Amino acid sequence: MKFLASLVAGLALIAAPAFSAQIPRKAPELAIQLPDGTQKLLSSYRGKVVVLEFIFTTCPHCQHSCQLLSQLQKEYGPRGFQPLAVAWNDMSKMLVPDFVKEFHVTFPVGYADRNTVNTYLQNPPDEALHVPQIVFIDRKGMIRMQSLPRNDGATGAEANVRGMIEKLLAEKAAPAAPVSTKPHSSTKKAS
């Protein structure tokens, strides 16, 4: 039985894509299109710990994951945690409002096309992506962890999500720019 398990695990590694996104890396800008016609820029959440999910509104795992993130937002939001979701399944623009209502999602959920998602995740366009794809971004705007393209199942487990959020919240925020106490003057003193 052990041999069979080892054989299956070995075959899974061979069949898995050789692709791996660069981690850590600076989180690229992402304009999240909202169903009301507005957009949210990912950079507007700089200074917060962000969990960004790429989802299908029809996926039960994504539905559960968004409900979990809504719960975690209540717990960790006051400490600087912000979840966001981007749907990229067919007709997601039309499906997002009902998704938010039905699953009581309490954070921004927008939509994007497949190319935008692949580019953001550094996934080759011809490689499959399983959903949800989860990205953890620290207060400084660095991607510190993200799901594997074929989703390992462990990244989105509640204990792992909580652990990573707590780890990133415990890190010090990026220092604020120093504030000068001297008034600015555009004139030079005469010598």
Domain boundaries, the chain: 19-170
More confident residue, 4 or 146: 146
> What is residue 135's predicted lDDT score, i.e. its pLDDT?
97
Q: How far is residue 84's CA from residue 109's CA, in Å, rounded to a whole number?
A: 6
CB 104 within 8 A of CB 141: no
Give the global pTM: 0.81
Which tens digits make up the pLDDT trace of 115-133? 999 999 999 988 999 999 9
Backbone angles phi, psi at 49, to 5 degrees: -85, 125
Which tens digits make up the pLDDT trace of 1-31? 444 444 334 434 333 444 568 999 999 999 9
> What is residue 175's predicted lDDT score, i.e. its pLDDT?
55
pLDDT at 190 over 70: no
Question: Residue 42: which pLDDT band, with cuts at 50, 70 and 90?
Answer: very high
Q: Among 41-50, 77-86, 152-161, name the one with the lowest average pLDDT.
A: 152-161
Q: Among 83-87, 115-119, 146-150, name the one with the lowest average pLDDT.
A: 146-150
Instruction: Classify burial at 92, counting beta carbons within 10 Å of its beta carbon; exposed 0-12, middle 13-18, buried 19 or more.
Output: buried
Instruction: Classify burial at 180, counting beta carbons within 10 Å of its beta carbon; exposed 0-12, middle 13-18, buried 19 or more.
Output: exposed
> What is residue 153's predicted lDDT score, i.e. its pLDDT?
73
CATH code at 19-170: 3.40.30.10
> What is residue 149's predicted lDDT score, i.e. its pLDDT?
87
54-82: average pLDDT = 98
Strand order, beta sheet including 31-33:
25-26, 142-146, 133-137, 49-55, 81-87, 109-111, 31-33, 39-41
